[in-house]
Structure 1
Amino acid sequence: MQLKCVAIDDEPLALQIIEKYVAEYPALTLVNTFEDAISGGEYLKRNKVDVLFIDINMPDITGIDLVKSLEDKPMIIFTTAYKNYAYEGYELEAVDYLLKPINNMRFGAAVQKAIGYYQYKHTDTSGEDDFLYVHSEYRLIKINIKDIEYIESMQDYIKIHTLGASKPILTLMPLKNAIEKLPSAKFIRIHRSFVVARDQIRSIHNRKVKLTEVELPVGTNYTDFIKDWHK
C-alpha cells in the first residue's frame, strides 16, 4: 500500500514540517507541495491523490472552499492555527484536524487514521467488519462494533451510544445507512428511531426494551421482533 499525498499551505515552514513527518511513514509518498491554494487546487483537479494535508486559512482561497470545489475528494487532513473551526468543515468529512504547531505524535495519529480508513474502504473481506468509521466532532472516529449498545436517530443525524462512554457519538448519517454497516445477526431495529445490540437486551416488557441503564420503546411496526427474541 502506497498513499499519494499533497500538502497545501502558504507557510513554507509548515510545508517543511509536513514533508519531514511524511518521510517517516513508508506507506506515504509526498508527490507535491504548494504554497498557494489556487495552484494546488488545479493540480488536484488533474491528478488523483489519496491524502491531502491542507491549511484552512490562506490568502487566496480557504482550505475549506478548495476542498468543496473538488469533485473527487481525497482523504482530508486539515491543518490550522485556530482552535475554532468553521461549521462547514464538519460536512466535508475530514479524517482529522491538526492544530499548529503540529507535533510528530499528533501527526502520526492522524496518519494512522488515514491508513486505517483507506484499508477499511479498499480491502475486500469475506467476513463482517469488527468496526465502523464515522465522522464526528470534525474528525474520523473508529468505533468497535462490539462496544455499541444502541443507536438513536435524530432526523439526519444519529447518536451512537457505546458501552462505558460518558456521552454518545453524534454523526451526520441517516439511520438506514448505519443499519447497512452493522451485522444483522447482532443488531435489531425496534423502532423507527432505535437500533439495539441484541446481546445488550436484558428484558422486554410492555413493549419496552430494557438495556443496562435505559428503556427504549418498541414501535408498532416492529413488534414481531419481540416474538423472535423470546424464542
Structure 2
Amino acid sequence: MILKCIAIDDEPLALRLISEYVSRFPALQLVKTFDDAISGAEFLKTRPVDLLFIDINMPDITGIDLVRSLEVKPMIIFTTAYKNFAYEGFELEALDYILKPIDFKRFEKAVEKAVDYFRYKNQTPGEQPDESLYVYSEYRMVKIDLNAIEYIESMEDYIKIHLTDAKTVLTLMPMKKVLEKLPGDKFQRIHRSYIVPVNKIRSIQNRKVKLSDVELPVSESYTDFIRTWMKFR
C-alpha cells in the first residue's frame, strides 16, 4: 500500500522539511511539491492524490480556499503557523492540523493517522475489518477503538462518545450517521438519545438498560430490541 501525496507551501524551507520527513515513510510517495497554490490546484484537477500536505496562509490563494475548490478531495493535513484557522479545517474534515515549526514526532503522528484511515476506507471484501470508528473532534480526525465505547449520547447537533477510560469525545454528527458507521451486530440504538454496545449490556429491566456504570432508558420506538436481546439470553 502506497499513498501518493503532494505538498503545497509558499515557504521553500517548509517544503524541504516536509519532503525530508515524507522520505522516511515507505508508505508515502511524494509525487510533487509546489511553492504556489495556483500551480498545486491546477495539478490536482488532473492528477488526484491520496494525501495533501498544504499550508493555509499563502499569498495567492489560501489553503482553505484551495481545498474548498477541489471537486475530489484527498485526505488533508494542514500545516500552518497560525492557530486561528482550526475551525475552517474542521469544516473541511481535515485529517489533521499541524502547527509550524513542524516537529517530526507530530508529523509522524499525522501520517500514521492518514495511513490508518486510508486502510479503513479501502478495506477489501473478506479482509479483517478495522475495529475502529473515525470521527472529527477538536478540529482533527480521531480514531476510536470500538471496544472502548461504553455508550453514545446525542446532544442536539453533537454526539458524545463515552469511553471506558472515563474520557469522552464530542463530535458534530447526527445519531443516524454514527449508527451507519457502526457494525449493526455490535451496536444498537435504544433511544433517540442513546446507542449502546450490545456486549456491554449487563441487564434489561423495566425498559432500562444496565451497563457497567450507568442505566439508560429504552424508548417505546426501540422496545423490539429488548425482545430480541432477551430471546438470546
TM-score by length of 2: 0.91
Which deviates the most, 19-28 or 179-188? Answer: 179-188
TM-aligned CA distance change 1:36 to 1:115, over 3 Å: same
Per the alignment, in what secondary structure is the counterpart of residue 223 of structure 1?
A: helix
1:34-71: CA deviation from partner (whole Å, max 9, x where unpaired): 11112211111121111100011112221111111111
Equivalent in the alignment of 1:194: 194
The answer (yes or no) to whether the contact 1:5–1:49 under 8 Å persists in 2 is: yes
Equivalent in the alignment of 1:4: 4
- RMSD (Å) for aligned C-alpha atoms: 1.7
Within 5 Å, give how 1:53-202 maps onto structure 2: 53-126=53-126, 127-166=128-167, 168-202=168-202
Measure how far apart 1:82 and its partner are.
2.0
Per the alignment, in what secondary structure is the counterpart of residue 154 of structure 2?
A: strand
The answer (yes or no) to whether the contact 2:78–2:89 under 8 Å persists in 1 is: no
Q: Does 1:13 align with 2:19?
A: no
CA distance in 1, matches of 2:160, 2:67: 27
Tell me which amino acid in the other structure corresponds to 2:124: D
TM-aligned CA distance change 1:174 to 1:110, over 3 Å: same
The answer (yes or no) to whether the contact 2:56–2:80 under 8 Å persists in 1 is: yes
Tell me which amino acid in the other structure corresponds to 2:68: K
Tell me which amino acid in the other structure corresponds to 2:225: F
CA distance in 1, matches of 2:212, 2:18: 46
1:131-186: CA deviation from partner (whole Å, max 9, x where unpaired): 121221111111111111111223443222111133x2122322222222222222
Within 5 Å, give how 1:204-219 maps onto structure 2: 204-219=204-219
- Identity of aligned pairs, percent? 66
Per the alignment, in what secondary structure is the counterpart of residue 185 of structure 2?
A: coil
CA distance in 2, matches of 1:86, 1:116: 22
Tell me which amino acid in the other structure corresponds to 1:11: E
Per the alignment, in what secondary structure is the counterpart of residue 84 of structure 1?
A: coil
The answer (yes or no) to whether the contact 1:78–1:98 under 8 Å persists in 2 is: yes
TM-score by length of 1: 0.92
The answer (yes or no) to whether the contact 2:86–2:139 under 8 Å persists in 1 is: no
The answer (yes or no) to whether the contact 1:128–1:183 under 8 Å persists in 2 is: no
CA distance in 2, matches of 1:187, 1:29: 37
Is there any run of 5+ residues in structure 1 with no aligned partner, and where?
none
CA distance in 2, matches of 1:129, 1:119: 8
CA distance in 2, matches of 1:165, 1:32: 43
Per the alignment, in what secondary structure is the counterpart of residue 164 of structure 1?
A: coil
Q: How many residues align?
A: 230
CA distance in 1, matches of 2:142, 2:169: 9
Which deviates the most, 8-17 or 130-139? Answer: 130-139
Tell me which amino acid in the other structure corresponds to 2:37: A
CA distance in 2, matches of 1:123, 1:205: 39
CA distance in 2, matches of 1:192, 1:124: 33
CA distance in 2, matches of 1:29, 1:194: 42
